[in-house]
Structure 1
Amino acid sequence: MSDRVHEFGFDTLQIHAGARPDPATGARQTPIYQTTAYVFRDAEHAAALFNLQEVGYIYSRLTNPTVAVLQERIATLEGGVGAVCCSSGHAAQIMALFPLMGPGKNVVVSTRLYGGSVTQFSQTIKRFGWEAKFVDIDDMDAIAAAIDDNTRAVFCESIANPGGHIADIAAVAKVADSAGLPLIVDNTTASPYLCRPIEHGATLVVHSMTKYLTGNGSVTGGVVVDSGKFDWSASDKFPSLSEPEPAYHGLKFHETFGPLAFTFHGIAIGLRDLGMTLNPQAAHYTLMGIETLSLRMQRHCENAQSVAEWLEKDDRIEAVTYAGLKSSPYHARVKKFCPKGASGLFTVALKSGYDGCVKLVDNLELFSHVANLGDTRSLIIHSASTTHRQLTPEQQEAAGASPNVVRISIGTEDLDDIIADLDQALTKASA
């Protein structure tokens, strides 16, 4: 008999990871633990929990059994050692940076980001005394040149929103690692089914769970996944993780918790003090969504590939950015980083310009005009006038959100219906 331990596949893990039948009732689906607090066994048990000497449940701002299942499931699917769920994708980005940064510190950031992330990094984090340095994430020399003694992380998206640009995660990770810095990758657009950044050198992975992980536009949520592979004590750059923590009688997170140091810090300090808590109902909806993640992503990719190929041949279209197209400059990266597909998100540039984009959006019938992506429904938005409106024209151009561009999130409907709707709306947009 073989002693080899069987490794479960992705489709099995997306259903079972982190979940057990409820010990009290035998319920097979993870229950929604709609409770604020938890009864301690005795005073000694309570003291051990508060002193981080024992793992358990104290208060749902910190830990909740429903959320805990979701954290373990996503960490497993991403190949991480732990995860911390929070209230939104934007919250996850702050949670990821919180243990690393401090006044006067900076993060090197890709110019190809969701517009809200560009605003968060260029404007909002200044209120913490942090700074973001924006670079072309394809230019390794520019990344290296932007890193200085005060840099504490490098940040990019695996598949950029809205343009569908695929980052060379391995190359970026090499630059970050040579500088002794963690690489944070937003994997929202790809999902762990299509891309696993940790396998290519990422230290932390963040998601807006609102998108493909939940998959039905019903909740907002975020998560930070910890690879457990970074040595937080290798330098003096990360004192929150390597030095004594006053709130816990001088406990050193990395020394005490090893690979799980970042995860424990995220809960014990991040959620405790920032309060960006995910509610258990949202966790429950996301768990149910993840059960069909692989099936949905396959259909998203199949539909997106066909729609992109159809659009690329259309005389009304100036350009299509889908990385699954052979004409895409990032097509080769699909095979390396997203071998199962390039997701369902891309942009389309119309020859009819800004006015044509407005007419297209207003005349679609099946597509929904919303500020979201990753839904089972096909979605569209004109980024330059909405999600990227606050950016300068140069920033819009760098992010792939020029005035003549619309962002399309292809759903799981019948392919013929998606194309028919686009065709009739493009006719009106080009009139």
Structure 2
Amino acid sequence: MDLQTIALHEGYTKDSQGTMVVPIYQTTAYEFRDVQHAANLFSLKELGNIYTRLNNPTTDVFEKRFAALEGGAAALATSSGMSAIFFAIANAAESGDNIVCAKQLYGGSLTLNTHTLKRFGIEARYFDVHDMASLEALIDEKTKVIFFESLTNPSIDVADIEAITAIANRHGILTVVDNTVATPILCRPFKHGADITVHSASKYTTGQGLAIGGILVEREDLVSKLRTNPRYEHFNKPDASYHGLVYVDTNLPPYTLRARLSLARDLGAVLSPFNSWLFIQGMETLFLRMQEHSKNALALAEFLESHPKVKKVNYPGLKSNANYKNTQKYFEGGLCSGLLSFEVASLEEATKIVNATKLYSLVVNIGDSKSIITHPASTTHQQLSDEELAACGVPAGLIRISCGLESASDLIADMKQALEA
């Protein structure tokens, strides 16, 4: 099926009432038929509902539908995009290990990887997403994950997914791709060798800034990479916390299974059924919205590129952009989402422009139906030093825009008056 059809139908068989809309199963627990039925569920002899911290019928539809959009085998919904990233890394790495990350990352991911994971004994090492030599030089026998974004936020770079995954596969290392900004509508990393994707569903998936949530997806046949791989012994040895279960021997997608039975079970960072339902509604229009977001962003980027006050525009849909070649290779139809950034002369000039806009909302979010403007150096990346800001492509004069679904001419007119105020 095509993506727009999957987004409307996958994962839901109408219940006994024939409801067209997926029901909200707002419950914490489920009644078992008898003791044997309960025992079978807990031992995975049967699959079914146990407790909403592990699974829920509404969330199950969301997970199946999103996995199908990505072309993956299975998914695990989480309470936020950050928890999806943490689960993806913690599922592979432990104290004494390291992860290799692109330095062009969302500020929250940089903080998680550099500071929080350090307290768990996991070291983060950074490479330039455009420099494959810098990536390979960081890998050793303790490297468990290579983490990068398909379309980086807010530097707006497009990763060479095939080049990165080829290096990872040569060393038997898992790749985790944050595909939030592109969404599966525009970019499908599994087609290019990636192992796991993560998303903040709070962004384009909901589309209206209605709910916080995340999702982790694993590719088909990931078990073949995990089985007998010395980097991932915990997938190949009995799990003492779950009846001696060996994840690669279950005939179920092992990465999401372990994340569910170990991390979601123990940490509880799971999605509420109501938020799952909101995300399902958002997915029904995702195909159409991503086209419109992309068209508006390109029109605004072309205007900004021609304005004398703008030093640089970061949007990979522009033919002048250094990422244009990768965009044509990895993004469907060359459409590359609604996120762009541009640089002006100084912090003072950027502040003046942001404060002068009328149609754009000053908000630290992206992917909303309404256009959003952000000054990353003073908000999402404020915790970084000047050196760290420069390294991840966030100078003081950078302004980030998440183009909404308004008229492109109105968005351009408002930006014009702000630049010239």
Structure 1 length-normalised TM: 0.95
Task: Indicate conservation of the 8 Å contact 1:206/1:222, yes or no.
Answer: yes
Shift of 1:262: 1.0
Q: Which residues of 2 match residues 20-419 of structure 1 at below 5 A?
A: 20-23=13-16, 25-230=17-222, 231-257=225-251, 260-340=253-333, 341-351=335-345, 353-419=346-412
Task: Indicate conservation of the 8 Å contact 1:110/1:137, yes or no.
Answer: yes
Secondary structure in 2 aligned to 1:407? Answer: strand
Per-residue Cα deviation, 1:64-97 (whole angstroms, up to 9, x for no partner):
0000000000100000000000000100011111
Secondary structure in 1 aligned to 2:250? Answer: helix
Per-residue Cα deviation, 1:297-353 (whole angstroms, up to 9, x for no partner):
0000111111100110001111101001111001011111013311111111013x1
Task: Indicate conservation of the 8 Å contact 1:189/1:345, yes or no.
Answer: yes
Per-residue Cα deviation, 1:276-308 (whole angstroms, up to 9, x for no partner):
110011111100001000100000011111110
TM-align CA RMSD = 1.0
Shift of 1:195: 0.1
Task: Indicate conservation of the 8 Å contact 1:10/1:77, yes or no.
Answer: yes
Secondary structure in 1 aligned to 2:125? Answer: strand
Shift of 1:239: 2.3
**Inter-partner Cα distance in structure 1 for 2:136 and 2:392:** 21
Secondary structure in 1 aligned to 2:55? Answer: coil
Task: Indicate conservation of the 8 Å contact 1:20/1:28, yes or no.
Answer: no
Number of residues paired by the alignment? 418
**Inter-partner Cα distance in structure 2 for 1:21 and 1:306:** 41
**Inter-partner Cα distance in structure 1 for 2:332 and 2:218:** 23
**Inter-partner Cα distance in structure 2 for 1:98 and 1:117:** 14
Structure 2 length-normalised TM: 0.98
Task: Indicate conservation of the 8 Å contact 1:203/1:229, yes or no.
Answer: no
Secondary structure in 1 aligned to 2:369? Answer: coil
**Inter-partner Cα distance in structure 1 for 2:100 and 2:196:** 15
Task: Indicate conservation of the 8 Å contact 1:107/1:132, yes or no.
Answer: yes
Identify which range, 200-209 or 354-363, moves more after superposition.
354-363
**Inter-partner Cα distance in structure 1 for 2:282 and 2:245:** 38
Task: Indicate conservation of the 8 Å contact 1:99/1:240, yes or no.
Answer: no
Shift of 1:275: 0.6
Secondary structure in 1 aligned to 2:270? Answer: coil
**What amino acid maps onto 1:152 in structure 2?**
K
Task: Indicate conservation of the 8 Å contact 1:206/1:223, yes or no.
Answer: yes
Shift of 1:400: 2.1
Task: Indicate conservation of the 8 Å contact 1:221/1:282, yes or no.
Answer: yes
Task: Indicate conservation of the 8 Å contact 1:233/1:254, yes or no.
Answer: yes
Secondary structure in 1 aligned to 2:304? Answer: helix
Moved over 3 A (4+): none
Per-residue Cα deviation, 1:1-38 (whole angstroms, up to 9, x for no partner):
xxxxxxx1111111111112123x22110011000100
**Inter-partner Cα distance in structure 2 for 1:289 and 1:52:** 32
**Inter-partner Cα distance in structure 2 for 1:74 and 1:268:** 20
**What amino acid maps onto 1:238 in structure 2?**
Y
Shift of 1:146: 0.3
The aligned residue for residue 4 of structure 1 is none
**Inter-partner Cα distance in structure 1 for 2:152 and 2:348:** 25
Shift of 1:250: 1.5
The aligned residue for residue 3 of structure 1 is none
**What amino acid maps onto 2:327 in structure 1?**
V
Task: Indicate conservation of the 8 Å contact 2:185/2:332, yes or no.
Answer: no
**Inter-partner Cα distance in structure 2 for 1:346 and 1:366:** 16
**What amino acid maps onto 1:257 in structure 2?**
N
Shift of 1:115: 0.7
Per-residue Cα deviation, 1:162-201 (whole angstroms, up to 9, x for no partner):
1210000000000000000011000000000000000000
**Inter-partner Cα distance in structure 1 for 2:161 and 2:117:** 24
Identify which range, 248-257 or 405-414, moves more after superposition.
248-257
